[in-house]
Amino acid sequence: MKFSLAKLGVLLLLTLWDQSSTAEEIGADIKNVPIFDAHMHYKEPAWGPYPVETVIELMDKSGVAMALVSSTPDLGTIQLLKHAPNRIVAELRPYHGSAGSSNWTKSDGMIDYIRTRLERFSHEGIGEFHIHRIDPNDDSLLRAVAQMAKTKNIPLHIHSGATPIELFYRFEPDLTIIWAHAGMSEPPETVDRLLSKFSSLYADTSFRENDILNGEGTISDVWLKVIKRHSERLMVGTDTWVNGQWDNYVGLIELNRRWLSKLPKDIAEKIAYKNAAKLFKRDVSRGLIGTN
């Protein structure tokens, strides 16, 4: 029986996947792997109790070499970036003044605000922003945001269910999107479907750690399939959206290392830092820890 080249390619990929699925877990060696925190916020309530020096100290203590940061307001991100430019990748969160997660798309002057901040500072993404529901009245603004991201060749970082992700790809098929919290409450089957459908879709797994780990301390079967199938486009994060997350920052990184320790070394390293490093064109290593 003859096979087409396409079928042979599929068989080869399945064979490689089976081999990686039986590879030895990285285990305790995960403690030596640097982390790229792909979902960090430095919001105004944190500035007093957690000055920029303390944030970097927490990163050092946790083995976090670099972080993708957005803040409410954007000044928080800029403060961190100025203090530690080789440790921070800045992205522009639209929230400022009275514009927050529930109303930013209705805020007067939002497009001008985003455009001006992108021109003034070296942001490498737009987000993390929330899309709680689809409102056709927001289409023109969302299209403009998508166009700005495409023009500057930077990703959008979106907190939403599956439908807004698909909407943005209809607006601009060539976008790169980071799906915050891997869909947050979407089932892993939906995460798998969208990652399979859109080759430029990434996902950070912040707030999904306890979904990924089952009650026995191993990775659930359904999440393991998603992780191994899409290991090139997953990243970890802490989502320091309230000070309680900063209080437990070391523990949050330890939680991420716990589930990463259950994976083969090559996959664990990709998700821990290599995927983010590739996406943002950074050289990430443990040598960054302890530096600004």
pTM of the entire predicted model: 0.91
pLDDT tens track of the chain, all 292 residues?
444 555 555 455 555 544 444 579 999 999 999 999 999 999 999 999 999 999 999 999 999 999 999 999 999 999 999 999 999 999 999 999 999 999 999 999 999 999 999 999 999 999 999 999 999 999 999 999 999 999 999 999 999 999 999 999 999 999 999 999 999 999 999 999 999 999 999 999 999 999 999 988 899 999 999 999 999 999 999 999 999 999 999 999 999 999 999 999 999 999 999 999 999 999 999 999 999 9
- Whole-angstrom CA distances from 24 to 64, 222, 272 are 24, 19, 17
Q: Enter the tokens of residue 34.
A: 């640097």
- Specify if 3 maps to a domain: no
- Specify if 22 maps to a domain: no
- Specify if 123 maps to a domain: yes
Candidates 224, 209, 220; CA nearest to 23 is 224
What's the per-residue H, E or C state across the chain?
CCCCHHHHHHHHHHHHHHHHHCCCECHHHHHHCCEEEEEEECCHHHHCCCCHHHHHHHHHHHCEEEEEEECCCCHHHHHHHHHCCCCEEECECCCECCECCCCHHHCCCHHHHHHHHHHHCCCCCEEEEECCCCCHHHHHHHHHHHHHHHHHCCCEEEECCHHHHHHHHHHCCCCCEEEHHHHCCCCHHHHHHHHHHCCCEEEECCCCHHHHECCCCCECHHHHHHHHHCCCCEECCCCCCCHHHHHCHHHHHHHHHHHHCCCEHHHHHHHHHHHHHHHCCCCCCHHHCCCC
- Specify if 5 maps to a domain: no
Per the structure, the complete domain to which residue 42 belongs is given by: 32-288
- Specify if 4 maps to a domain: no
| Cα separation, 163 vs 147, whole angstroms | 19
For residue 181, the domain's CATH number is 3.20.20.140
Q: State residue 1's pLDDT score.
A: 42
Q: State residue 217's pLDDT score.
A: 87
Q: How many structural domains are present in the chain?
A: 1
- Specify if 10 maps to a domain: no
Q: State residue 13's pLDDT score.
A: 53
Q: Enter the tokens of residue 171.
A: 């607006």
Candidates 197, 279, 210; CA nearest to 251 is 210
Q: State residue 23's pLDDT score.
A: 76
